[in-house]
Chains A and B, each alone.
Chain A
């Protein structure tokens, strides 16, 4: 329920912001890059469970729904994966960092917020880490089927430090070179693993150094795209 609400809010927001000067291309790309993937595994069952989570608060207040532990623990791995990917359990706060003009012309240093005023809970983050290999396999399977890697999948890959997915990330990006946040994931993996060729680069300085801001970016152009892909490939080979 919350997921659909989020989508509705995003749509309404885009309608409003379109009147405020951001270009159509920028808004369209914002919508594209903030889409989440909806895993197919037991989706109908999980949607029903999410819809059935009781309102916590009074006064017809929708509240912040969290699946009870016994129900969550009874889910299979694939079911938990689906649940976690479409329903963030904890509150999130405050910043609308990623809503800027000309997003379609930028390669960002960090990924956009995905769940609005919600965020994954500790148990959800732990699930990703504790089932790292399975999570990577499920993401791969899902992306190959849908030809799309949602923002939630990208966040999960960074969270579990899924450097083994680099060849897959590169091939997914190269399919149409539209989803520039895949380049962001590659850079975050290199940054997370302190890959020497990356942390001594100008891109690193601009995006992750002492003076870098969280919403920092580099220009989207072919040399930058190619450089990130090439570095990530070398990083992957150095890890193998």
Chain B
């Protein structure tokens, strides 16, 4: 069932002071954070949304320009990805694995942080900060949605119905109505961690690639990292209203 179609596009996160992080977590220590409140999108940005941006602006993504998208195929060792010059948001897993024609309600992927920023500028929205994303995600006993249930990545796993992305809203939302906070695609966030180079950006919430044995990042605590120009087929974003 596509739950998301029944709901509003944004959820209001109330002003307040929230407890974030985890005791002893080296990247995300336990602390209090105050927000004046913000509105965050109910779902990850879809291919339909991104296509409107591209049609309107003629924007060409990093992966289309530089032919350096990273894709996954079953059989690769853990944490190994393949560079595929044919992959882009239109062909998230490379041309040979098909386009997005029947996946317009899936999250847009195979875009870089740089591309996500360009979308936000055009749509007059912004990425959530690392803290805002966590406020929206944590404290909620949400089961992860679309993740990798197999032991490793040597064999394809479609046990939850999807090997790659799922249509947004395919799984039950969290208690405040946000879909796919954990799983489906990693979501770019703004902000840096101490020691970051200017090329490093962060994404949170895990993806269809993440398994409990390998990258267990389908949670509210862990923080992933990637080069701002890298385009992975499990990397997307959701937005916050300005």
Residues in A lying within 8 Å of B, measured CB to CB? 5, 8-17, 20-22, 56-57, 61-64, 90-97, 99-101, 113, 116-119, 121-122, 210-214
Contacts and interface: CB of A to CB of B under 8 A. Distances in A.
B227 to A, nearest CB: 4
A227 B81 CA distance: 34
A12 B226 contact: no
A93 B81 contact: yes
27 contacts: A11-B195, A13-B193, A13-B194, A15-B195, A20-B25, A20-B26, A21-B23, A56-B66, A56-B229, A61-B199, A61-B229, A63-B199, A91-B68, A91-B70, A92-B226, A93-B235, A94-B203, A94-B217, A94-B224, A95-B215, A95-B217, A96-B222, A116-B200, A117-B226, A117-B227, A122-B83, A214-B213
Contacts of A17: 26-27
Contacts of A13: 193-195
A93 B212 contact: no
Contact of B26 (A57, A101, A119, A211): A101
B140 interface: no
A11 B29 CA distance: 19
A18 to B, nearest CB: 10
B119 to A, nearest CB: 17
Interface string B189-223: 00001111111100100000000111111000011
Nearest to B199: A62
Between A5, A16, A94, A210, the greatest number of chain B beta carbons within 10 A of the residue's beta carbon is seen for: A94
B225 A117 contact: yes
The A contact surface, by secondary structure, is loop
A213 B212 contact: yes
Nearest to B235: A93
Give the contact-size bracket for chain B. 35 or more
A90 B81 contact: yes
B26 A22 contact: yes
Contacts of A92: 79, 81, 226
Given A12-B194, A117-B230, A122-B82, A212 B213 contact: yes
A96 B79 contact: no
Given A13-B195, A15-B195, A96 B27 contact: yes
B26 A99 contact: yes
Interface string B75-100: 00011111100000000000000000
B151 A91 contact: no
B227 A96 contact: no
A62 B198 contact: yes
B213 A213 contact: yes
